[in-house]
């Protein structure tokens, strides 16, 4: 796409499905008054996820002032122990909405408004939609302080800009932000894939992963070779990252292009996407390689049910016959146009017969369009899939086994190296002895045997759950209550010198569902930091002078609860 980066004030929306090809963008202010260094860029490809904004470094600390980037009004406020944590949304008058996430706290009247809402509804996690006139905002207004809340992995500001009507995030770099960057993307590896039942690669049928060398002036070659021999349909992949300016973080490139004999065959530009799309990246990635080696190769073969809009050219495969030579060239670029390239030749060889593994009777060929094996029943186990759950047709291994401590047999449906776009439904009938037990849940085993809870509800005599995880499933019982311990005070202690009462809370299987703190049986706001297993009450006017009875009640995903009672002196 050809972007117009001029500073016009008005952005226009054609429909909920338009792109940004003809769009012009306003110039916005900085959300922080410190030098801008990025730890993550827009459109970075991650398993299950496309990064929807810029991660701005905050000098390794929390509490940096966060400012509105343009005039508008606060349209949404979020508080959560997960995801974006404390987050603000400002709707602007030019068709865009700015988003500020992982905040430590909100400023002034905003903070008071949120706290009043939480007390009124007696809950910490909240999604609040103030009236349009409640919080009018001017460019440069102090709105919050940067933090590390929610799913953040360290102090920073996650900053987004979205189209207001469609809610599609758009690359914030289009809005006039200038970051000095003379560093070319780094290419780390190239992959080549034989596709279909007839293709071969260097006489075999397995993908090949090649190291690279060079890099001077952005020019790379395959290590120790320049030719790859193949026959049949062939796809490609590339592993690369970018460093923005002086930042050492491994960020995602802005542009991926594949040329076959100098003709553009595949192109992906990190400009904008829909929030219905992030799971498509699992199809874009060589997902099995990622699960096995934790390395990310972007594939140029586009699966039939991969609808990721950032992919603008989808012809990234080639059929090579004996005697053919195809010049293959990848071009990788960052937002400001720094470019790296790698080239090699694909040479066609004579067809080679390679015996392929026989399919087992326990494997099912599942068509992604829903026309074959989209509903499979094996004894007391059932899986049903909608059209488009899979990205492409797949052979899926099934099986069953017994293990002590389970309330049903353990059933296999695929493994964690296979990925889906939509959720599918798993149903398991429990053994008769456990049919009426109230603390059942569906357990999931990954490839290493690690067990986690998927939850689930009884329906029609079966436990039922929607999931995207493929692997082994069974029914288990969770009869163990969560643990709750005071972490910064003891029973009967004076807490007049403390700013908060802190509790470590955890659950070993079905997870924390609810958490409540009471002073003398009156609910007070408990703030939950899930990643640190911390629940805390910031001491305020709710605590009276003298002795206070403190009660903490924590419930897990199947209803087991734990109550801790203590006394403190204030």
- Indicate if 73 and 105 belong to the same structural domain: yes
- Indicate if 218 and 288 belong to the same structural domain: yes
In contact, 308 and 280? CB cutoff 8 Å: yes
- Indicate if 223 and 262 belong to the same structural domain: yes
- Indicate if 130 and 193 belong to the same structural domain: no
The CATH number of residue 525's host domain is 2.60.40.1220
Q: Is there a domain that residue 1 lies in?
A: no
What's the mean pLDDT in 203-220? 97
pLDDT tens digits, residue range 213-232? 999 999 999 999 999 999 99
- Indicate if 90 and 205 belong to the same structural domain: no
The pLDDT of residue 8: 30
Q: Is there a domain that residue 31 lies in?
A: no
With 50 as the cut, is the pLDDT of residue 93 above it?
A: yes
pLDDT tens digits, residue range 276-296? 999 999 999 999 999 999 999
- Indicate if 90 and 150 belong to the same structural domain: yes
Q: Is there a domain that residue 11 lies in?
A: no
With 60 as the cut, is the pLDDT of residue 6 above it?
A: no
With 70 as the cut, is the pLDDT of residue 16 above it?
A: no
Q: Is there a domain that residue 412 lies in?
A: yes
Say how far apart CA 227 and CA 231 lie, in whole Å. 13
What's the mean pLDDT in 239-258? 94
Q: Is there a domain that residue 221 lies in?
A: yes
In contact, 76 and 114? CB cutoff 8 Å: no
In contact, 11 and 95? CB cutoff 8 Å: yes
pLDDT band at 356 (very low <50, low <70, confident <90, very high): confident
472 to each of 30, 184, 382, 404, 453, how far by Cα in Å? 48, 43, 12, 15, 12
Of the candidates 516, 514, 534, 512, the residue with the CA atom closest to the CA atom of residue 525: 516
- Indicate if 425 and 536 belong to the same structural domain: no
If DSSP codes are grouped into helix, strand and coil, which group holds residue 494?
A: strand
The pLDDT of residue 224: 95
Single residue among 117, 141, 175 that ends a domain in this structure: 175
Percent of the chain with pLDDT over 90: 93
Say how far apart CA 155 and CA 373 lie, in whole Å. 47
- Structure-block tokens of residue 129: 């939609």
pLDDT band at 20 (very low <50, low <70, confident <90, very high): low
What's the mean pLDDT in 548-556? 98
- Indicate if 411 and 546 belong to the same structural domain: no
Say how far apart CA 161 and CA 144 lie, in whole Å. 17
Q: Is there a domain that residue 19 lies in?
A: no
Question: Can you count the helices (H) and strands (E) in the chain?
Answer: 3, 44
The CATH number of residue 170's host domain is 2.70.70.10
The pLDDT of residue 496: 96
User: How many other C-beta atoms are found inside a 10 Å radius of the C-beta of residue 349?
Assistant: 18
The pLDDT of residue 22: 58
pLDDT tens digits, residue range 146-168? 999 999 999 999 999 999 999 99
- Indicate if 282 and 370 belong to the same structural domain: no
With 50 as the cut, is the pLDDT of residue 4 above it?
A: no
Q: Across all residues in the chain, what is the average pLDDT?
A: 94
pLDDT tens digits, residue range 69-78? 999 999 999 9
* Torsional sign, CA 405, 407, 409, 413: negative
Single residue among 143, 175, 207 that ends a domain in this structure: 175
- Indicate if 494 and 452 belong to the same structural domain: no
Number of domains in the chain: 4
Which phi and psi (to 5°) does residue 119 adopt?
A: -70, -40
Single residue among 348, 380, 403 that ends a domain in this structure: 348
Say how far apart CA 160 and CA 167 lie, in whole Å. 11
pLDDT tens digits, residue range 292-348? 999 999 999 999 999 999 999 999 999 999 999 999 999 999 999 999 999 999 999
Range of the domain at 445: 363-477
Q: Is there a domain that residue 8 lies in?
A: no
464 to each of 164, 430, 570, how far by Cα in Å? 37, 11, 49
Say how far apart CA 366 and CA 344 lie, in whole Å. 36
pLDDT band at 509 (very low <50, low <70, confident <90, very high): very high
- Indicate if 192 and 340 belong to the same structural domain: yes
In contact, 34 and 54? CB cutoff 8 Å: no
- Indicate if 458 and 487 belong to the same structural domain: no
- Structure-block tokens of residue 471: 């692997």
Q: Is there a domain that residue 21 lies in?
A: no
């Amino acid at each position: 796409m050809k972007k117009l980066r001029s500073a016009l004030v008005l952005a226009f929306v054609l429909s909920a499905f338009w792109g940004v090809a003809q769009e012009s963008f306003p110039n916005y202010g900085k959300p922080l008054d410190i030098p801008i260094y990025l730890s993550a860029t827009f459109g970075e490809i991650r398993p299950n996820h496309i990064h929807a904004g810029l991660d701005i470094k905050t000098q390794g600390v929390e509490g940096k002032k966060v400012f509105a980037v343009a005039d508008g009004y606060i349209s949404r406020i979020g508080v959560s122990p997960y995801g974006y944590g404390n987050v603000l949304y400002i709707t602007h008058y030019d068709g865009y909405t700015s988003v500020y996430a992982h905040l430590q706290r909100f400023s002034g009247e905003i903070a008071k408004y949120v706290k009043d809402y939480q007390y009124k509804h007696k809950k910490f996690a909240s999604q609040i939609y103030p009236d349009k006139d409640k919080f009018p905002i001017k460019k440069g207004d102090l709105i919050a302080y940067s933090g590390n809340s929610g799913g953040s992995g360290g102090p920073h500001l996650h900053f987004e800009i979205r189209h207001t009507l469609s809610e599609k995030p758009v690359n914030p770099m289009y809005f006039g932000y200038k970051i000095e960057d003379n560093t070319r993307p780094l290419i780390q590896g190239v992959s080549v894939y034989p596709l279909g039942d007839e293709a071969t690669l260097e006489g075999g049928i397995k993908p090949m992963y090649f190291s690279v060398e060079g890099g001077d002036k952005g020019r790379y070659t395959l290590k120790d070779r320049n030719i790859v021999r193949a026959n049949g349909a062939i796809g490609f992949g590339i592993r690369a990252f970018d460093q923005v300016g002086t930042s050492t973080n491994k960020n995602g490139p802005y542009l991926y292009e594949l040329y076959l004999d100098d003709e553009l065959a595949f192109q992906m530009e990190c400009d904008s996407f829909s929030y219905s799309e992030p799971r498509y990246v699992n199809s874009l990635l060589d997902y099995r390689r990622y699960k096995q080696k934790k390395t990310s190769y972007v594939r140029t073969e586009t699966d039939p049910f991969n609808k990721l809009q950032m992919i603008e050219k989808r012809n990234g495969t080639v059929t090579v016959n004996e005697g053919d030579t195809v010049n293959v060239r990848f071009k990788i670029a960052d937002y400001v146009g720094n470019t790296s390239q790698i080239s090699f030749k694909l040479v066609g060889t004579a067809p080679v017969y390679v015996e392929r593994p026989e399919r087992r009777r326990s494997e099912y060929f599942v068509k992604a369009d829903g026309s074959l094996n989209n509903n499979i029943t094996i004894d007391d186990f059932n899986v049903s899939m909608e059209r488009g759950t899979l990205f492409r047709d797949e052979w899926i291994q099934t099986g069953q086994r017994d293990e002590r401590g389970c309330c049903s047999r353990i059933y296999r449906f695929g493994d964690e190296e296979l990925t889906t776009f939509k959720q599918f439904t798993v149903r398991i009938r429990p053994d008769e002895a456990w049919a009426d037990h109230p603390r059942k849940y569906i357990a999931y085993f990954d490839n290493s045997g690690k067990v986690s809870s998927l939850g689930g509800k009884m329906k029609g005599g079966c436990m039922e759950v929607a999931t995207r995880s493929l692997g082994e499933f069974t029914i288990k019982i969770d009869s163990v209550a969560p643990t709750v311990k005071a972490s910064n005070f003891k029973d009967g202690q004076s807490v007049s010198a403390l700013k908060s009462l802190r509790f470590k809370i955890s659950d070993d299987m079905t997870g924390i569902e609810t958490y409540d703190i009471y002073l003398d049986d009156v609910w007070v706001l408990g703030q939950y930091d899930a990643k640190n297993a911390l629940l805390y009450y910031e001491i305020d006017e709710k605590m009276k002078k003298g002795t206070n009875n403190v009660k903490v009640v924590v419930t897990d995903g199947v209803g087991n609860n734990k109550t801790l009672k203590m006394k403190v002196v204030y």
